[in-house]
Amino acid sequence: MNLFTSIKMAARNIRGNKMRSFLTMLGIIIGVSSVIALLAIGQGSSKSVTDSVNSLGTNLITVNITNTDTHFTMDNLKEVKQATGVKSVAPVLSGRSTLRNGSTNSQVSVTGTTSSYLSIRQLTVKQGRFVSSLDEKFRQKIVVLGSDLATTLFENESPIDKKVLIDGESYLVVGVLNSKGGSMGSSSDDAAFLPFSTAQRLIGTTYITQFYAQAESQDSVNWAMAGISRVLSQTYSDSDDYSVVNQQDVMEAMSSVTSTMTMLLAGIAGISLLVGGIGIMNIMLVSVTERTREIGIRKAIGAKRKDIMLQFLIEAAVLSMLGGLCGVGIGILAAKIYALAVGGTIVYSLPIMAAAFLFSAVVGIVFGVFPAYKASKLNPIEALRME
Amino acid sequence: MSEVMISMSKIEKTYKLGDNIVHALDHIDLTIEEGAFVSIVGPSGSGKSTLMNMMGCLDKPDGGEYTLGGSHIDRLKDRDLAEIRNRKIGFIFQNFNLLGKLTAVENVEMPLLYRGVKAKIRRARALECLKLVGLEERATHLPNQLSGGQQQRVAIARALAGEPQILLADEPTGALDSKTSEDIMKLLTTLNNSGRTIVLITHDLNVARKAKRTVSIRDGRLQEGEHI
């Protein structure tokens, strides 16, 4: 008997028992679709992290000062700027404040910084200008808005030369930034930027806990990092008091987190596939018992053990592959729905889909072997006697 | 004269029932020629089903020799027995034993399916056989859409499809009313007249008498003629 006929026969048996076949496939469907959906979401989030990290520029060095006893000041920062390989530096003073225009208000992250921040973070100005060194010097109460924030507060109006209230005090809007996107809650689109000295007053701190530095080129990142560390070590004896990381480090840390997460998701999904396989075996065993008589008839008519074995094996494989196919479809759909609902990035990977589908087929065959073997071993005389 | 189709010599089959040993077949000697129409009669428990299984290569004897259509089959392996069943034997059962999910014509072409015959030839041959039993219009019906007599005729067509050397009918009229039984017996007689070897197993003497030769079996032993 040829394979095509066997497959047709199997498809017919599956159609003849629609409800049961569907329930049997459900395990596989859930397994495969969860593999595909979860991995699409996992890879999507890792991609969006990578993208946002990359968009900051590969020359970017982030320095965090964790020692709060010895304060890091603007004077210290000037020394850092002199270090080898460092092109420019920008202090960052972050806080959260409520911005208000008329009756519209929005709680956003407020960053106090200097004019070099714009080029270091590779941001661009859409309207007006960014914070200048004069603003910095005279503690001007001016603010630059991220694009989303500008839309929230002013809708379609131009916010330039309008006043906003930040924690109750009036600030002049001098600029709006272009949209850049971002992730991990650090989007510059939904933030407000003040001169560093102004922000010191608003937030109530005098010292710097974080600053960005830009290396002269990608090649000199390591030089610059070493230079910065040397300057910092003059102020702080303990290297635990500060951290100097470049984008590469951040990316590696992030990707190790996301890959662990992805592996975990894949593991859970794999277990559900296994459970689905056991479901298939269970139903196939029931099916063998139910169809004992049919097996007897087929054997009497001349079916060899191989034929019977193949029939049940193909049925299990078709069942699981059908489930796998449905699972791929549902997985793609589920990830799409997630993307639409939450707005996250998703990445479909063809190799993963193929692997999940193949795995489902393998599961069907592996768990189909035992019932098929059992069926092929039936004694035709006893099988025929069964009612 | 005609050639020997079935030759059994000293065929033995014993079962253990607790401590007792039951001789289901006790040194059976039987020869059936090609083109014969033999009925084997016996009450239940006489061993006629065992004999039928043995003839049909569903069971292996514990001792003795069995030749079917020229090939020795007493020591064959399972897979070779399956081959012999497929090519040399056509079974007709008391309860028809059609597959309920397949149409009449699909049931009929099943022996050819396991022989690896191509779909087109298979279908044509199956339709031919259905025509032979007068059911070509019912080809696409499922067994449960057919009457008992029609189902048995489909089963006969299935037995014929593989062009076997011998038809083995195990109580073919057992589940049918007397009118339909007669039709089935007429069909078998016609088939025999066209040269097919038929072995009929029954407990019904009226049915057995339709055959050209009658053999009776009791306690695993054979006797020519009717002795019940």
pLDDT in tens, B91-146: 999 889 999 888 999 999 999 988 988 889 999 999 999 999 999 899 999 999 99
Residues A206 and A274 in one domain: no
**Any A CB within 8 A of B225 CB:** no
Residues A162 and A309 in one domain: no
Is the pLDDT at B1 greater than 60, yes or no?
no
Q: Which residues on B lie below 8 Å from A300 (Cβ)?
A: 56, 58, 85, 91, 97
Is the pLDDT at A247 greater than 90, yes or no?
no
Is the pLDDT at A217 greater than 50, yes or no?
yes
Residues A33 and A83 in one domain: no
- Domains in chain A, number: 2
Q: What percent of chain A has pLDDT over 90?
A: 25
**Any A CB within 8 A of B99 CB:** yes
Q: Which residues on A lie below 8 Å from B113 (Cβ)?
A: 1, 5
ipTM, two decimals, is 0.91
- Domains in chain B, number: 1
Residues A86 and A119 in one domain: yes
**Is residue A15 in some structural domain?**
yes
C-alpha–C-alpha distance, residues B165 and B57, integer Å: 13
pLDDT in tens, A16-72: 888 989 998 998 998 899 888 888 888 888 888 777 777 777 788 888 888 878 888
**Is residue B159 in some structural domain?**
yes
The pTM for the full model equals: 0.73
Buried b (16+ CB within 10 A) or exposed e, B168-196: bbbbbbbbbeeebbbbbbebbeebbeeeb
> What does each C-alpha distance from B161 to A363, B79, B185 come to in angstroms?
38, 21, 19
> What does each C-alpha distance from A219 to A163, A229, A321 come to in angstroms?
44, 17, 51
C-alpha–C-alpha distance, residues B53 and B93, integer Å: 12
* Dihedral angle of Cα A177, A182, A184, A189, to the nearest 10 degrees: 20
**Any A CB within 8 A of B116 CB:** yes
- Rounded to a whole number of angstroms, the distance from the CA of B1 to the nearest CA of chain A is 30
DSSP summary character for residue A155: T
Choose, out of B97, B120, B158, B168, the residue to mutate when testing the contact with A (most A CBs < 10 Å): B97
pLDDT in tens, A157-206: 888 998 999 988 899 999 999 887 654 445 778 889 999 989 988 888 88
Tell me the backbone φ, ψ of residue A21, rounded to 5 degrees. -60, -40
Residues A207 and A114 in one domain: yes
For A243-268, what is the mean pLDDT? 82
For A322-349, what is the mean pLDDT? 91
Residues A119 and A224 in one domain: yes
Other C-beta atoms lying within 10 Å of the C-beta of residue B87: 16
Copy the structure tokens of residue B215: 């053999």
**Any A CB within 8 A of B83 CB:** yes
Q: Which of A207, A235, A263 is the last residue of a domain?
A: A235
For the four alpha carbons of A204, A209, A213 and A218, in that order, the dihedral sign comes to negative
pLDDT of residue A368: 92
pLDDT in tens, B142-200: 999 999 999 999 999 999 998 998 999 998 988 888 899 999 999 999 999 998 999 99
> What does each C-alpha distance from A323 to A19, A26, A31, A261 come to in angstroms?
13, 7, 9, 26
**Is residue B98 in some structural domain?**
yes
pLDDT in tens, A267-290: 887 888 888 889 889 999 999 999
What residues contact residue A208 under an 8 Å CB cut-off, 6+ apart? A65, A71, A72, A73, A74, A76, A77, A91, A92, A93
Cβ-based contacts under 8 A for chains A and B: 63
Is the pLDDT at B228 greater than 70, yes or no?
no
**Any A CB within 8 A of B101 CB:** yes
Residues A376 and A259 in one domain: yes
pLDDT in tens, A93-151: 888 889 988 888 888 889 999 988 888 888 888 889 999 888 888 888 999 998 888 88
**Is residue A340 in some structural domain?**
yes
Residues A226 and A263 in one domain: no
For A231-257, what is the mean pLDDT? 83
Residues A199 and A77 in one domain: yes
Contact B91 A301 (CB under 8 A): yes
Number of H helices, E strands in chain B: 8, 10
**Is residue A244 in some structural domain?**
no
**Any A CB within 8 A of B14 CB:** no
* Contacting B residues, span 152-181, partner chain A, CB-CB under 8 Å: 158, 162
pLDDT of residue A185: 47
**Is residue A202 in some structural domain?**
yes
Copy the structure tokens of residue B195: 């040269």
Domain that holds residue A144: 71-235
Helix (H) or strand (E) holding B169: strand B166-170
**Is residue A241 in some structural domain?**
no
Residues in chain B: 228
pLDDT of residue A43: 84
The CATH number given to whatever domain includes residue B213 is: 3.40.50.300
Spatial CA neighbour of B58 closest among A291, A385, A285, A288: A385
Choose, out of A293, A301, A386, the residue to mutate when testing the contact with B (most B CBs < 10 Å): A301
Q: Which residues on A lie below 8 Å from B119 (Cβ)?
A: 5
Domain that holds residue B139: 36-60+85-224
